[in-house]
Structure 1
Amino acid sequence: MVADWLTLLPALVAIAVVLWRKEVILALLLSLCSAELLIFLQNGQRFGAGLLLDGSIQTLERIIAVTGDADNARILMFSLLVGGLLAYMRYSGGVSATVAMLVNKGIARNGRQAGLLTFFISSVTFIESNLSSLTAGISSRGLFDKFKMSRARLAYIIDSTSAPICILILLNGWGAYILGLLSTYDLPQSPVAILIGTIPLNFYALITLVVVLYTIISGKVHGPMRKSEQQLHTLSHHSEIETPASHPAFMLVPLITLVAAMLGFMLLTGNGQLVQGSGSKSVLYATALSCVVVYCMMLLSRRFAHQQLVDIGFKGIGELLPLVTIVLLSLALGASLKLLGTGTFIASIVDQSLPQVLIPALLFLAGALISFTTGTSWGTFAILIPIGMPMVSLLGLPPSLILAAILSGGVFGDHCSPISDSTAVSSVAAGCDLLEHVKTQLPYALVCGAIALISFVVAGVLMI
């Protein structure tokens, strides 16, 4: 049998390899292999040459298995199609034309206005976190190039706006998911009332949004992001506004199609209920439709032949293959860690004899650790809500504070984790190297996390 503390080994392997070799794919592969070996040991198999062979084969099978899940397959397809969509917008000249239009109209005449526009777009597309990151990233890439701001800053703004906004407003898939988890418990208030009560208590999300706005308005960047600003490093080492401008419609029409179709498909998949819709289905269908729209527009412009457009689409998809591989391995690792019980072990540390006033802060820390090591905030909520909500009933704790601590911790860990799919999507949307995004966002996330932790300690003292 595997000792409980050994369930943390795969996450430690991933972190160590990332720090040592600066290679995320290698880190994820080795972490996945170690997780599969531990699963075999947990099932009673003895260590030996046969175990290493079985572990290697099972690693491949685990990767294959996650693609068998429809939602995971949709995420991977969506990530590939985004590459094609971005390439079409870039080669059509629509990005260059849109940037010129925004500058000439006075909507984004400087870096501060470009940052505020990005924040606004990310905020109003709260219906789905991936859509929020994607729309804001696509809209603002050219503007950030125009005003000599790094893609790392763009990735930070969209990543640190989309998830906090989505977890605060909750008129989306996250809200429906959390309400579903809460509905199984006998609580002193209705699930909806508890969820609304988390808004002023979700300290990490609120603090993060304040820091994002400070960064945009002041124009100041700190830590590794300052170095990125000096290097202006981008994933593909090019500026999207170098392409000769055509007409803004080549960017705006597919972008509007993306957002409108996302809303439409959320209603369709939710049988008329927006919050009941499937985010993974809707974002895939909307991206595919947007690709078709921009393809037809470029073909009808008579500037591009069909074969040219096929080549452009596949070139865009090829540019994102490394990040799609990271998403695939992250999903596989998350499945292995769930089977191994990593999240349950971390959560069990909290579920012991503890001073009641510290329970919110400890749930926040547990949520951060689970989300960081498994790369999923959704999985974190599924693990910790069944621990936190019974505490509310048994100990008479304030339900909104306990739930807010769990939600805050999940988003905090997600922001810090290099194996989070939302971290990868933000990198894709901004055109920023994944490790650069993690490295530049981490200091901001840690500062916000530390303030949030202190806030939960204070709230625990005042409210319990």
Structure 2
Amino acid sequence: MDAGWMSIIPFLIVMPVAIYTKQVLPGLLLGLLVGSYIVSPSFVGGMQAMLAYVVQALIDENNIKIIVFLYAFSGLTGMIKFCGGIKGFVEAASEKITSKKEALFLTYISTIGTFSAPTFRFVTIAPIMKALLKKVKMSTKELGFVIETTSTPIIVLLPVATAFVGYMVSVVQISVQTKEGAGEPYDLFLQSIPFNFFAIVIILLGIYLSFFHHSRSNAPTQIEDGGEEDEEDWHNCHPAVSKELPTKPWNLVVPIALVISLTLFLTWWDGRGGGRSLTEAFIEADVMEAMVVALLITTLLSILFFLVQKFKLKDLISSFIVGGNELMSVVVLLSVVWGLSSVTEELGFSGFVTAHSGWIPELFITPLMFVFGAAVSYFIGSAWGTWGILMPLGVSLSAVADVSLPLIIGAVFASGSFGAFASPLSDDTNTIARILNLTVIDYAHYKLKPALLAAGISTVLYTAASFFF
């Protein structure tokens, strides 16, 4: 089918529906459904086309690897929680921290072992800081802000062993698969990391507020229940640190160390042939496959490690499945994103954008893409949803204006990062507010000002970068 205006109808449906419902999936599903009926305009034909697009996406080898990675990663996290790894880490750390500087240093240094996912960071660091809130003399909102700047903004910049990597590579892959000479998706993701300006700027702001800015308040802000918390209250802030769980910090340290070291080793191993140097081996390797294999090996070794400690195999399997199922909503989201990308490409989306976007000055394409994406992500509260919706548009605009592909990919990732950090609808905002007993709207309002400051600086940086890339 020739490129035409109908190719943008699915996107014109997705964004307003997502913003109105404050959920990403209904908009994506409706956009996929409408696009499928445009391709096959009959009562049964549209449904059959939608099913075909989703099934085709799910049987793709690379997509299957991503799904396995996400499920296994979440399953491994579930076992770590059940075996007391997170609770043990929190207990051990909270006993040794006696000052604000030590607590803040721990917040940053612990990123090394807990960078796999934002929620993983929150349930390991927030309870420690909550238990020490009276000692560290920070406002609760400031504490939440500092913790968040060491979570999603750092995680989106890491190229291995996080729950985000698979998804981020996937949305790049589906966006460039019809673009000849675009390059390998993982390589493009790596090249885009320095251009995620929002993540970088908000991290720097977090460091400034942590170590160089003096809070006007020397006491915790009023929390929702308004009462005094006893020292053990933090055990009730999240199931992962419940009093009923065992206290075994090594059950966190060992699996995390294994998955990181195995990922690095297997990545080198996959790309080592032909006398390549260490750097060349990492560039040439199939990183996604290395990460999946490393994760599967880590899962098996972790099960053996837990069995030696007398945990029951039945309980380990159950906790793995419960943990993995927590990401099934993400797998569904991915499937619909993949299907939507396929249907819009068949309708000629790239050709339409190429034909009708030449009037936009090249200098403004990347900053406008970031600002537009930031607005969308703020109103839907989902970084992953924003990336899935906007990455195909960003890649197509890059081809039209001859703008650096890594630059515009970085801008799309940055726009989603803004929503994950600043939106009152985001999982990050709601999780940290729940753990710290903050009112969600008040907390989101508190961090909106620095988030907008970082977004403004990022927009200027994208404008400046457009001169050179």
Task: Give the TM-score range, shorter chain.
Answer: 0.5 to 0.7
Q: Residue 301 of structure 2 aligns with which residue?
A: 293
Q: Residue 203 of structure 2 aligns with which residue?
A: 209
| TM-superposed deviation, 1:95 | 1.2
TM-score (norm 2): 0.66
Give the whole-Å Cα distance in 1 for the aligned partners of 2:284 and 2:149.
29
| TM-superposed deviation, 1:375 | 1.4
Counterpart contact for 1:94–1:248, Cα < 8 Å: yes
1:105-116 correspondence runs (5 A):
105-106=96-97, 112-116=104-108
| TM-superposed deviation, 1:84 | 1.7
Q: Residue 125 of structure 2 aligns with which residue?
A: 143
- Please give the secondary structure, in 1, of the residue aligned with 2:156: helix
Deviates more, 1:156-165 or 1:263-272: 156-165
1:318 pairs with one of 325, 329, 334 = 325
Q: Residue 128 of structure 1 aligns with which residue?
A: none
Letter of the structure 2 residue corresponding to residue 338 of structure 1: E
Whether 1:375 aligns to 2:388 is: yes
Counterpart contact for 1:7–1:340, Cα < 8 Å: yes
Q: Residue 365 of structure 1 aligns with which residue?
A: 368
Counterpart contact for 1:327–1:424, Cα < 8 Å: no
1:297-446 correspondence runs (5 A):
297-302=305-310, 304-342=311-349, 345-346=352-353, 349-352=356-359, 354=361, 359-366=362-369, 375=388, 383=396, 386-389=399-402, 402=404, 405-415=407-417
Q: Residue 152 of structure 2 aligns with which residue?
A: 159
- Please give the secondary structure, in 1, of the residue aligned with 2:248: coil
Give the whole-Å Cα distance in 2 for the aligned partners of 1:341 and 1:4.
7
Counterpart contact for 2:353–2:397, Cα < 8 Å: no
Whether 1:258 aligns to 2:269 is: no
| TM-superposed deviation, 1:313 | 1.9
Root-mean-square deviation (Å): 5.0
Give the whole-Å Cα distance in 2 for the aligned partners of 1:69 and 1:329.
14
| TM-superposed deviation, 1:296 | 0.9
Q: Residue 73 of structure 1 aligns with which residue?
A: 64
- Please give the secondary structure, in 1, of the residue aligned with 2:272: coil
TM-score (norm 1): 0.66
Q: Residue 282 of structure 2 aligns with which residue?
A: 274
Letter of the structure 2 residue corresponding to residue 116 of structure 1: Y
Give the whole-Å Cα distance in 2 for the aligned partners of 1:155 and 1:28.
28
| TM-superposed deviation, 1:111 | 5.9
Q: Which runs of 5+ in 2 are unaligned?
A: 131-139, 216-220, 226-235, 274-280, 374-383, 435-439
Letter of the structure 2 residue corresponding to residue 207 of structure 1: V
Letter of the structure 1 residue corresponding to residue 104 of structure 2: R
- Please give the secondary structure, in 1, of the residue aligned with 2:151: helix
Counterpart contact for 1:161–1:209, Cα < 8 Å: yes
Q: Residue 380 of structure 2 aligns with which residue?
A: none
Give the whole-Å Cα distance in 2 for the aligned partners of 1:5 and 1:408.
27
Gap change, CA 1:253 and 1:407, over 3 Å in 2 = same
- Please give the secondary structure, in 2, of the residue aligned with 1:247: coil
- Please give the secondary structure, in 2, of the residue aligned with 1:351: coil
Gap change, CA 1:91 and 1:340, over 3 Å in 2 = same
Gap change, CA 1:206 and 1:311, over 3 Å in 2 = closer
Instruction: Tell me how many residue pairs correspond in the alignment.
Output: 395
Give the whole-Å Cα distance in 2 for the aligned partners of 1:446 and 1:349.
31
| TM-superposed deviation, 1:66 | 0.7
- Please give the secondary structure, in 1, of the residue aligned with 2:93: helix
Give the whole-Å Cα distance in 2 for the aligned partners of 1:146 and 1:457.
40
Letter of the structure 2 residue corresponding to residue 337 of structure 1: T
Give the whole-Å Cα distance in 2 for the aligned partners of 1:426 and 1:265.
31
State the Cα deviation string for residues 166-223 of structure 1 (Å, max 9, x = none). 59xxxx9999x99x999969xxxxxx9xx99995x77445434324545655699xxx
Letter of the structure 1 residue corresponding to residue 8 of structure 2: L
State the Cα deviation string for residues 373-402 of structure 1 (Å, max 9, x = none). 66178756754554455x7xxxxxxxxxx5
Whether 1:454 aligns to 2:460 is: yes
1:125-144 correspondence runs (5 A):
133-134=116-117, 138=120, 141-144=123-126
Q: Residue 117 of structure 1 aligns with which residue?
A: 109
Give the whole-Å Cα distance in 1 for the aligned partners of 2:116 and 2:259.
12
Q: Residue 129 of structure 1 aligns with which residue?
A: none
State the Cα deviation string for residues 38-83 of structure 1 (Å, max 9, x = none). 334xxxx5xxxxx242112221221111111111111111121123
- Please give the secondary structure, in 2, of the residue aligned with 1:375: helix
Counterpart contact for 1:375–1:414, Cα < 8 Å: no
2:46 pairs with one of 33, 55, 59 = 55
| TM-superposed deviation, 1:21 | 3.1
- Please give the secondary structure, in 1, of the residue aligned with 2:247: coil
Counterpart contact for 1:204–1:408, Cα < 8 Å: no
Letter of the structure 1 residue corresponding to residue 306 of structure 2: M
Give the whole-Å Cα distance in 2 for the aligned partners of 1:431 and 1:267.
40
Q: Which runs of 5+ in 1 are unaligned?
A: 46-50, 123-131, 186-191, 221-225, 392-401
